[in-house]
């Protein structure tokens, strides 16, 4: 772990050495922060009074306190555990807390919905853009999946209407939007089928239109035929991009 976090040499117009933390994009970038914060969390909760409610995802925390003094004391102790820790906090305002998820408090219950910043423009990949059809379908599915996972029962219909409106503004066919919403609702009502998961394997190819689509069908068909334990996934990227790694976007079947 020491070699992965404090002895990493890299070059950017010169040679540098990273002295703390994990490099962005590193395979360790998910596991190590979770382990580290979990270790600090254990020390913290043994030292301060446990909040009324406490939830954590990696380095994002949601906590409920009796009063503001308890909240400030908790944050102060948290930031004193390690020199590079610097947590900030958002407090409830008007019975709501805007994070990536909008949390609203009504009496003794919480409701959740998708939060969009005031700067949100509603611009997504347009239907008539030069991009694979699969990516556009996946955009609809992704927005719907987020809504189903985040929204409380009373908030879901409002979010589906919002998604419908946003996609129409980006020229997506209304019939297609309604069809995918219907499919997602049907999937939620099905009992999950537990099967052996196949190992995903990515192939990165340039996006040059229908030729790329034809190649994707051929290569995935061949892999599925001869390698039964592999799930082939093709990721298209812009062939003109100078930094293809940053331009790559996964296209899932």
76-80, 110-114, 242-246: range with lowest mean pLDDT: 242-246
Q: What's the pLDDT score for residue 177?
A: 94
Dist CA 198 CA 125 (whole Å): 30
The angle subtended at Cα 105 by Cα 100 and Cα 107, nearest 5°, is: 170
pLDDT over 50 (residue 247): no
pLDDT category of residue 168 using cuts at 50, 70 and 90 = very high
149-158, 169-178, 243-252: range with lowest mean pLDDT: 243-252
pLDDT over 80 (residue 253): no
User: What are the backbone dihedrals phi and psi of residue 22, each rounded to the nearest 5 degrees, phi first?
Assistant: -115, 140
Per DSSP, the three-state class of 185 is: helix
pTM: 0.65
28-37, 118-127, 132-141, 187-196: range with lowest mean pLDDT: 187-196
Evaluate whether 16 touches 6 at the Cβ level (below 8 Å): no
pLDDT over 50 (residue 243): no
H/E stretch holding 231: strand 230-237
């Amino acid at each position: 772990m020491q070699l992965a976090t404090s002895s990493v040499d890299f070059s950017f117009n010169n040679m540098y050495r990273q002295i703390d933390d994990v490099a962005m994009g590193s395979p360790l970038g998910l596991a190590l922060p979770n382990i580290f914060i979990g270790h600090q969390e254990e020390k913290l909760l043994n030292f301060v009074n446990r909040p009324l409610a406490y939830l954590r995802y990696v380095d994002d925390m949601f906590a409920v306190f009796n009063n503001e003094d308890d909240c400030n004391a908790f944050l102060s102790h948290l930031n004193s555990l390690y020199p590079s820790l610097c947590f900030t906090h958002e407090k409830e305002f008007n019975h709501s807390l805007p994070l990536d998820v909008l949390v609203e408090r009504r009496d003794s219950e919480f409701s959740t919905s998708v939060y969009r910043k005031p700067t949100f423009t509603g611009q997504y990949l347009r239907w008539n853009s030069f991009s694979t059809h699969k990516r556009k379908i996946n955009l609809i599915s992704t927005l719907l999946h987020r809504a189903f996972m985040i929204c409380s029962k009373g908030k879901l219909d409002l979010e589906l209407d919002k998604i419908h409106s946003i996609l129409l503004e980006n020229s997506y066919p209304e019939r297609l939007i309604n069809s995918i919403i219907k499919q997602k609702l049907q999937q939620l009502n099905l009992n999950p089928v537990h099967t052996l998961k196949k190992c995903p394997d990515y192939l990165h190819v340039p996006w040059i239109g229908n030729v790329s689509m034809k190649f994707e069908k051929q290569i995935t068909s061949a892999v599925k035929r001869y390698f039964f334990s592999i799930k082939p996934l093709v990721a298209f990227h812009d062939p003109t991009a100078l930094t293809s790694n940053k331009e790559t976007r996964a296209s899932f079947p």
